[in-house]
Structure 1
Amino acid sequence: MEFKSINPYNGKQVGLYKALTQEALVEKLNRSQIAFESWRNVPLAERCNLIKKAGQVLRDNVEAYAQMITLEMGKPISESRTEVNKCAWVCDYYGENAPVFLEDQSIITEAEQSFVRHDPIGGVLAIMPWNFPFWQVFRYAAPSLTAGNTGLLKHAPNVFGCAQQIEDVFTKAGYPSYVFQNLIVHHDQTELIISNDAVKAITLTGSERAGSAVAEIAGRQIKKSVLELGGSNAFIVWEDADIDKSVQIALTARMLNCGQSCIAAKRFILMESIYKEFVQKFTKAVKDLKRGDPLNENTTIGPLARLDLANQLNKQVRESVVQGAQLLLGGNQNGCYHEPTILGDVVPGMAAFDQETFGPLAAMVKAKSIDHAFKLSENSSYGLGVTVCTKNTEKALKYANRVSDGAYFINELVRSDPRLPFGGTKNSGYGRELGKDGMMEFINRKVVYVKY
């Protein structure tokens, strides 16, 4: 089997990648298990030094890596550079903080010594998506490899060029052979990989459907999984908010990466008194976005990554309009390009409210009160994050317990940060990435108890 990587902007082939045979795949898995036995014994200081070197490799090759991201999935080149540099940041973060995170934790008991060690567990399989093809991988790989685990990457088929470059980053940084391996395989090989003894845990970022299927396989194998799935984040604007600032935050929150982000703001829940002003100013800001070749420095909105994604988004737009939503801007599709679209008067029961919309579609929702706004926010099967815009931050803090999501941001878009744990609730998945929590997900917290 061969996989073609297609530029969504012009339809041209970017690369061609041949799938591993089953024999070659099993050999790579065996090599991973062998590599783990020696890698786990490499001093932590050396592993920290290597992940910092990986960060430097990323910085040294930012243009080449950014270009591959843009060619394969279509995001503007400026955003691709930002993604690569963020990967370097997460490498630096774990290189600097892993010694503290992994140090023994002493606990006073009747024993002469009792403490918790933090040992690696083995091979961690990452099943990763195309929307942030470098970042999604490095935010798992940096803590996992630095902890002493080995990495196995099953990337999305449309970004196998990025996957190949990621493996090359670790090679250039000086990692031993087989500590991190890219697996060019079809998704029908997933169960075989998870079932292999070399794989001790699985992390997946993707759709609900993919997460459910992988969790089921992992559960049968009694192997830990971390799932980061879809989202339909609410962006709540109170009456006292600075509307101009809120609009700028909202524009980035919805249109970054052409809206193809699980943590993008998708449902804009606005107090009735400021609804008209916010919608007018947001609409103007969206109109000012620059469409074009994502390799062009001036482009701020590009195509969606694949034709099926654009088709799905357009279907959700049309369904919502039939259900009573007002088409305020956009709504048209041309191949992989979907116009930035704004729907007004969106209510529960409409596709734009109930479903995850993975693209440049903003749903405007009216709220009668702050309490009503939070009820609307909670009316979702997803639970990644919520933004509240207000000048009364003290009051907003008191509402944090009203939010069941994994993140609550005040006057800022929901975003991931190497220093903070990241993850969701409900159908958005379970487990945490980043921060100390992310490193602890794939660690054996081993109790040591000593009496003389």
Structure 2
Amino acid sequence: MSIIETTNPYTNNKIKSYTKFTSEKVNLMLKTADNTFKEWKLVSLKDRAKLLDNVANVLHENIESYSKLITDEMGKPISESKAEIEKCILLCDFYRKNADLLLADELIKTEAQESFISYDPLGVILAIMPWNYPFWQVMRFAIPTLTSGNTTLLKHASNVTGCSLIIEDIFEKSGYPKGCFQTLLVDHNQIEKIIEDDIVKAISLTGSEKAGRKIAEIAGKNLKKSVLELGGNNACIILEDANLEKYMDTIVKSRMQNTGQSCIAAKRFIVVESIYDKFLKNFTTKIKDLKSGDPSNKDTNFGVMARQDLANTLKEQVEKSINKGANVYFGNKKERTYYQPTILTNVKPGMPVFDEETFGPVASIIKVKDKQEAYDMASNSKFGLGTMIFTNDIEDAKKHISNIEDGSFFINELVKSDPRLPFGGTKASGYGRELSREGILEFVNKKTIYINK
């Protein structure tokens, strides 16, 4: 039997070992999920939504221990871990209050005596989730998917196995029938067989572009729907009238939150030359003020990267970019999982830190001559998760909304997910949407009903 071991990335101490599931156990879990679905889909939407209060209560009552587990397994500052749990509570609240409205039959006037669209659950949905927001990424999939009447299986990242099992426990404690939510402790090489099983009706993946292409291939081959939230290379445009004094903390957070390990983080800071020097000075001052240290310390606001191989990959991207002409303006020291907050200047297209997703605390600064070049540079990416613009001229910024192909467009705010708004990307950042009405309708059968006497 193969083993999964979790390790604290800050101390490098082993946390716990887990035995991976056999094929026989996985098959049993698939059948359990399918059998539970047949009963769960018959539970009224009102009663399914009521259970979200229980989930929120369990999260609230255990916020200290759950936050500590997140920090121990992936190195996030404890304050950010607590914020992640709190966001999950808000998610429960949103769908508890709105599920009835979001899934209500939609009446359509036709020649029929009665015609409408109903929204029926599909069945067993497989989720493949990453480690960077180990509770939030799972909950934003599971809450709407379960509430719409599906059952779920989770393949979580192995380094947050403790979190994955705790989340299963949360749903059981909250009164969900056994089989509604199950965690699979399996290898990636078992995933294809699971997807191919007739019991699995659809797949949701949050992960890298490479993983997304592979899962999309398997899902397509088996004619199964998939929702993919993949990598990002978000631009943060700083125009000459940007209020740096007001928004600099937000701008720094947009890159350094979660130690830069976020698909929607600002990776490319595109700055108009008239404000470039001022921006660079203020940005650097704030970066230097970040407090590194033990992530479990409440005063730490900059943690470590989740694994040493991730830090090594980031270092390689930076070094290749330096060889192509990028300059290290600040930082770039690495020790095991610690990667110093880093600022690179003279960054240009063709460098890894411009073209690729940099999943860590490296800010690439690009100087442009004017507003038009700034927007053109922002669009120069194969990714399409989100763009943020800082400016005092809101009306002018709104004129550029349709020119940006990304899944989101934020003015004077960092790109972030919100239960009330749809979240997802375009191009190499994937397809489909999570959250809001769009998210709860991803894994339902939009059925046409047509009735005549």
TM-score (norm 1): 0.99
1:204 shift after superposition: 0.1
SS in 2 for 1:266: strand
Q: Does 1:293 align with 2:290?
A: no
Q: Deviations over 1:91-128 (max 9, x none)?
A: 11111111001111110111101011111010110000
Q: Does 1:381 align with 2:382?
A: yes
Q: Does 1:342 align with 2:329?
A: no
The equivalent residue for 2:222 is 221
SS in 1 for 2:389: strand
Over aligned residue pairs, what C-alpha RMSD do you find? 0.7
The equivalent residue for 1:404 is 405
Q: Does 1:259 align with 2:260?
A: yes
**1:52-201 equivalences in 2 (<5 Å):** 52-201=53-202
Q: Deviations over 1:274-300 (max 9, x none)?
A: 111101111110111011010001111
Q: Is the 8 A contact 1:20 1:185 kept in 2?
A: yes
Q: Is the 8 A contact 1:239 1:274 kept in 2?
A: yes
- 1:252 maps to a residue whose letter is K
**Aligned pair count?**
452
The equivalent residue for 2:304 is 303
How far apart, CA to CA, are the structure 1 residues paired with 2:59 and 2:137? 14
The equivalent residue for 1:15 is 16
SS in 1 for 2:305: coil
The equivalent residue for 2:37 is 36
Q: Is the 8 A contact 1:74 1:305 kept in 2?
A: yes
Most deviating of 199-208 and 316-325 = 316-325
How far apart, CA to CA, are the structure 2 residues paired with 1:407 and 1:394? 17
How far apart, CA to CA, are the structure 1 residues paired with 2:410 and 2:451? 45
- 2:78 maps to a residue whose letter is I
SS in 1 for 2:235: strand
What percent identity do the matched residue pairs reach? 51
How far apart, CA to CA, are the structure 2 residues paired with 1:199 and 1:44? 22
How far apart, CA to CA, are the structure 2 residues paired with 1:340 and 1:450? 63
How far apart, CA to CA, are the structure 2 residues paired with 1:243 and 1:78? 25
SS in 2 for 1:130: coil
- 1:180 maps to a residue whose letter is F
How far apart, CA to CA, are the structure 1 residues paired with 2:113 and 2:38? 31
1:316 shift after superposition: 1.2
Q: Deviations over 1:42-84 (max 9, x none)?
A: 1111100012211111111101110110000000000000001
How far apart, CA to CA, are the structure 1 residues paired with 2:340 and 2:84? 23
Q: Deviations over 1:17-55 (max 9, x none)?
A: 110000000000010000000000011111000122111
TM-score (norm 2): 0.99
The equivalent residue for 2:277 is 276
The equivalent residue for 2:370 is 369
1:245 shift after superposition: 2.4
1:14 shift after superposition: 1.1
Q: Is the 8 A contact 1:416 1:422 kept in 2?
A: yes
How far apart, CA to CA, are the structure 1 residues paired with 2:448 and 2:383? 36
How far apart, CA to CA, are the structure 2 residues paired with 1:197 and 1:62? 37
How far apart, CA to CA, are the structure 1 residues paired with 2:405 and 2:16? 42
How far apart, CA to CA, are the structure 2 residues paired with 1:300 and 1:319? 29
How far apart, CA to CA, are the structure 1 residues paired with 2:298 and 2:47? 39
The equivalent residue for 1:442 is 443
- 1:74 maps to a residue whose letter is G
The equivalent residue for 1:431 is 432
Q: Is the 8 A contact 1:314 1:332 kept in 2?
A: no
How far apart, CA to CA, are the structure 2 residues paired with 1:275 and 1:153? 45
1:248 shift after superposition: 1.3
How far apart, CA to CA, are the structure 2 residues paired with 1:275 and 1:336? 31
How far apart, CA to CA, are the structure 1 residues paired with 2:34 and 2:206? 23
How far apart, CA to CA, are the structure 2 residues paired with 1:384 and 1:430? 10
How far apart, CA to CA, are the structure 2 residues paired with 1:163 and 1:260? 19
How far apart, CA to CA, are the structure 2 residues paired with 1:236 and 1:122? 43
SS in 2 for 1:217: helix
The equivalent residue for 1:209 is 210
Q: Deviations over 1:355-383 (max 9, x none)?
A: 11000000000111111111111111100
- 1:230 maps to a residue whose letter is G
Unaligned runs of 5+ in 2: none
1:198 shift after superposition: 1.7
1:413 shift after superposition: 0.2
- 2:370 maps to a residue whose letter is S
How far apart, CA to CA, are the structure 1 residues paired with 2:329 and 2:366? 13
Q: Deviations over 1:323-370 (max 9, x none)?
A: 111101111110011111000111111111111100000000011111
Q: Is the 8 A contact 1:77 1:296 kept in 2?
A: yes
Q: Is the 8 A contact 1:237 1:246 kept in 2?
A: no
Q: Does 1:332 align with 2:333?
A: yes
SS in 1 for 2:139: helix
1:432 shift after superposition: 0.3
SS in 1 for 2:214: helix
Q: Does 1:355 align with 2:356?
A: yes
Unaligned runs of 5+ in 1: none
